[in-house]
């Protein structure tokens, strides 16, 4: 490289670029950090303000109204709303029905708009039972609308496989005598599908707690009222 006497040596290319490169890196780091903070702040800013500034009544100047036609329109709307309200009311059963609240473990026996009985129950424990052979069961009370499919007095419990696995006992054949247990389901049972029952219990101190394998356990008095009021086909609402 040729150098001229009396002149300062010119900086190399790398030296020339250093301040700009450092500034670029520092700027990018700060920029990304502040962008991230801005994104988080944006979420909350938009929750408070989002879309509201843009709100305009596009229909405001669309139509021109006169009093007579407006009255007609209000009357029409009124009758439509009344019809819809009635239609919705008709969806509520006239016959007695049962509401099971699995969140607070309560039941409500209702007829029309009248509350016949309110009481405690026990619903699914939400236990996930894992057996050694990779089998597993979740003891959860199903939610939704159901119907009473069968009613039984002095029911006998036919123990499913998990009842034996849970106890560490060998699983007997399907109709083996050791599968049938007497007197543990109380005086009555009402079946509402997939093997789920509403029945009584020996564990009365656990009423109001989530302890069952998915069935709904009731106190003797409540069970009697439910059994005598609900017929085959009556609705059960579980949430």
Partner 1 sequence: MKIALPRDRKARFVFWITAGLPPLAILVLNVLLPMWRDPLAEFAIVAAADFSPKVYDVDGTAATAGNAAKASTAMQQLLLKKNALEFEQAYLLSRLDMATSDSIGLGVDLTDSVATLEIRGVPVRRCKITRFTVPGGLQRREAVYWLSTPFELREAAASLPKAPIRVRKAPSDTIEAKEKAEPDIPIEKRDVYFILHFDKNLSLAVAQTQPTSAIGWLHRVGYLLERGWLPVAEDLSALAHLKRPTARVHMRLEMSREDAKAIYRALPTHANLALRL
Alpha-carbon span 76 to 103, nearest angstrom: 42
How many whole angstroms from its chain centre is CA 109? 22
Q: Which two tokens mark 210?
A: 């989530």
Residue whose CB is less far from partner 1, 157 or 162: 162
Alpha-carbon span 162 to 181, nearest angstrom: 14
Residues ≥6 apart with Cβ < 8 Å to 221? 119
CB of 47 to partner 1, least distance (A): 4
User: Taking a C-beta distance cutoff of 8 angstroms, is the pair 142, 194 a contact?
Assistant: yes
Could you say whether residue 116 binds partner 1 (CB under 8 A)?
no
Could you say whether residue 152 binds partner 1 (CB under 8 A)?
no
Alpha-carbon span 133 to 2, nearest angstrom: 84
CB of 106 to partner 1, least distance (A): 10
Alpha-carbon span 54 to 238, nearest angstrom: 42
CB of 22 to partner 1, least distance (A): 7
- Contact region for partner 1 (CB under 8 A) — 3-11, 140-148, 152-160, 191-199? 140-148
Residue ranges in 19-78 that form contacts with partner 1 under rule CB under 8 A: 19-20, 22-24, 26-28, 30-32, 34-35, 37-40, 42-67, 69-71, 73-74, 77-78
Q: Which two tokens mark 6?
A: 């009396």
Q: Which of 92, 95, 150, 180 binds partner 1 (CB under 8 A)?
A: 92
Residue ranges in 176-195 that form contacts with partner 1 under rule CB under 8 A: none
Could you say whether residue 237 binds partner 1 (CB under 8 A)?
yes
């Amino acid at each position: 490289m040729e150098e001229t006497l009396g002149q300062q040596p010119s900086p190399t290319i790398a030296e020339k670029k250093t301040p700009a490169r450092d500034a670029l890196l520092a700027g990018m780091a700060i920029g990304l950090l502040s962008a991230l903070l801005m994104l988080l702040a944006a979420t909350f800013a938009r929750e408070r303000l989002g879309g509201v500034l843009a709100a305009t009544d596009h229909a405001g100047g669309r139509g021109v109204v006169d009093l007579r036609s407006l009255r007609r329109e209000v009357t029409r709307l009124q009758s439509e709303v009344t019809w819809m309200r009635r239609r919705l009311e008709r969806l509520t059963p006239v016959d007695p029905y049962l509401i099971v609240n699995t969140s607070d473990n309560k039941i409500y026996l209702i007829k029309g708009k009248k509350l016949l009985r309110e009481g405690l129950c026990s619903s699914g424990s939400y236990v996930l039972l894992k057996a050694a052979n990779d089998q597993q069961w979740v003891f959860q009370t199903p939610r939704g609308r159901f119907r009473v499919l069968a009613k039984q007095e002095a029911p006998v419990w036919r123990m499913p496989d998990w009842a034996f696995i849970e106890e560490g006992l060998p699983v007997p054949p399907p109709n083996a005598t050791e599968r049938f247990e007497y007197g543990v389901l109380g005086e009555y049972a009402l079946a509402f599908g997939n093997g789920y029952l509403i029945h009584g219990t020996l564990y009365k101190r656990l009423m109001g707690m989530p302890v069952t394998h998915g069935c709904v356990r009731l106190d003797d008095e409540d069970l009697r009222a439910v059994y005598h009021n609900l017929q085959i086909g009556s609705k059960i609402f579980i949430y």
